Structure 1
Amino acid sequence: MARKVNSAGIKLVQTFEGLKLEAYTCPAGIWTIGYGHTKGVKKGDKITDAEAEKILAQDLAQCGEQIEKCVNVPLNDNQFAALASFVFNVGIGSLTASSLLRRLNHGDYDCVPSELSKWVKASNPKTGKKVTLAGLVKRRAAEGELWLETDSGDAFLNSQDMPQQVHADDSRTIYRVAARSGLRVRSGASTSYDVIKVLPLDTQVYVIREKEGWAAIDTEGDGALDGWVAMDFLRVHQT
């Protein structure tokens, strides 16, 4: 039986999609009806509240099935729901081709909120240019918050009180340099930037963020940016 999206995920989708019982064009110029349903929708279509709920359930079930096929790590209910909302909005093709999925499948759960926040642009149907939409910014933030919200019921994990002893996160994914002749570290994310230093083969680093095939790296594990390297020459460190 397919895994169901929890109530928090359903509410998130309903909130951001809104309910329209008559077909309309979304900001990207696509005919839409109900809670963001687009497949087969045409001008003049009308549905009832009950039909909108049924269609939403079917659409989310499909998103869930698609997620289960491509995500190879365990997800709690809120994490699953956050991805379902994302896929509902951008499509499964965007997820499967994303650095979000690649990093998540390598065990980097913490990257997801920041990876989600990249997906905030839509093509203006009048100009064809990609522009940032405020609604997408808010939706990605809400999905990121849902991703981080524990659903374990553990009183300690759910506590809002601030502990007086805090530890650094040592669970980040470690990468290693795979370039046999060494990997050039540059001051920016392209070959036009100066080389700061060269990291020997198998040097371990942390990736802070990615940009167009380049990775901002932390070589000391202190969270500070130490430069940029080509992502193609990094591999997840196998312990």
Structure 2
Amino acid sequence: MARQVSQEGLELVKKYEGLRTQAYRCPAGVWTIGYGHTEGVKPDTEVTAERAEELLNQDLTQAGAQVERLVHVPLTDNQFSALTSFVFNVGAGNLESSTLLRRLNAGDYDAVPSELAKWVKATDPKTGKKATLAGLVKRRAAEGELWLKTDGDDPFLNSSDMPQNVHADEACVVYTVTARSGLKLREGPGMAFDVLQVVPYNTRVFIVKEKEGWAAVDLQGDGAVDGWMSQDFLSPLPG
């Protein structure tokens, strides 16, 4: 039997998707109905609340199956539910190509909330540009909180007080150039894009995101993308 999301995970998805019994266009322009259901939805589609629940359960079962396929480390019920919500929202393909999955499968469980927090942009159908949406920021935060929820009694991990000594999550993000003659930095992910510069052997870079064997890299560590490099010549340094 397929693994099911927890009740808390189900309520999270229902809260952030909202129930709509008539088809509507989401902010990204996709026809949607029920609790975020998109498959086969047309402008005149209508559903009952009961049917919306059925569609949600089907969608979450499919999303959960993708989480089980892609994640190779053990997950608690809360962790599984948080990732299922994430996949239901962004798609399994995005999880499969993400730094989040790479770090998690390497055993870096603590990296997941901060990696989730990166997925907060949608393309504005009017301008074609990506923009950060408050709703996505809130949902990723809720998924991160669910991921961290534990039954343990560690006073540090479970404290409701706000720490005043806070650190950025930079573990396992530093790579080094391993091409002896240096590695070309390009404007985009592919050989067809113009070369911006050649980055020397052994240069340390930060990977911002990954796409089909290419990495968007930050040379200064300030969070800004300087260009794209082939991942074949980048090797991770210990975090």
TM-score (norm 2): 0.71
The letter for the 2-side match of 1:155 is D
Q: Distance in 2 between matches of 1:118 and 1:57?
A: 26
Summarize the Cα distance change of 1:159–1:137 in structure 2 as closer, same or farther, 3 Å threshold.
closer
Residue in 1 that maps onto 2:15 = 15
Count of residue pairs the alignment pairs up: 211
Residue in 1 that maps onto 2:190 = none
Post-superposition CA distance 1:25-51 (Å, at most 9, x none):
111111111100000011121111111
Summarize the Cα distance change of 1:176–1:131 in structure 2 as closer, same or farther, 3 Å threshold.
closer
**What is the SS of the residue equivalent to 1:21?**
strand
Summarize the Cα distance change of 1:110–1:210 in structure 2 as closer, same or farther, 3 Å threshold.
farther
Q: Distance in 2 between matches of 1:217 and 1:104?
A: 25
Summarize the Cα distance change of 1:138–1:46 in structure 2 as closer, same or farther, 3 Å threshold.
same
**What is the SS of the residue equivalent to 2:32?**
strand
Q: Distance in 1 between matches of 2:219 and 2:2?
A: 38
Post-superposition CA distance 1:134-169 (Å, at most 9, x none):
11111111111111x233x2333664378xxxxx9x
Q: Distance in 2 between matches of 1:112 and 1:5?
A: 18
Give me the CA root mean square deviation.
Answer: 3.6
- Of residues 105-114 and 4-13 in structure 1, the stretch that sits farther from structure 2 once superposed is 105-114
Query: Percent identity among equivalent residues?
Result: 51
Give the C-alpha shift of residue 118 in structure 1: 1.5
Unaligned 5+ residue runs, structure 1?
163-167, 185-190, 219-227
Q: Distance in 2 between matches of 1:145 and 1:89?
A: 17
Post-superposition CA distance 1:50-81 (Å, at most 9, x none):
11111111110100001111111111111111
Residue in 2 that maps onto 1:179 = 178
List aligned pairs for 1:80-229, cutoff 5 A.
80-147=80-147, 149-151=148-150, 153-156=151-154, 159-160=158-159, 179=178, 210=208, 212-214=215-217
Summarize the Cα distance change of 1:119–1:71 in structure 2 as closer, same or farther, 3 Å threshold.
same
Which is higher, the Rg of structure 1 or of structure 2? 1
Unaligned 5+ residue runs, structure 2?
162-166, 184-194, 210-214
List aligned pairs for 1:42-53, cutoff 5 A.
42-53=42-53
The letter for the 2-side match of 1:179 is T
Residue in 1 that maps onto 2:30 = 30
**What is the SS of the residue equivalent to 1:213?**
strand
The letter for the 2-side match of 1:213 is A
Does the 8 A contact of 2:71 with 2:105 survive in 1? yes
Residue in 1 that maps onto 2:73 = 73
Residue in 2 that maps onto 1:62 = 62
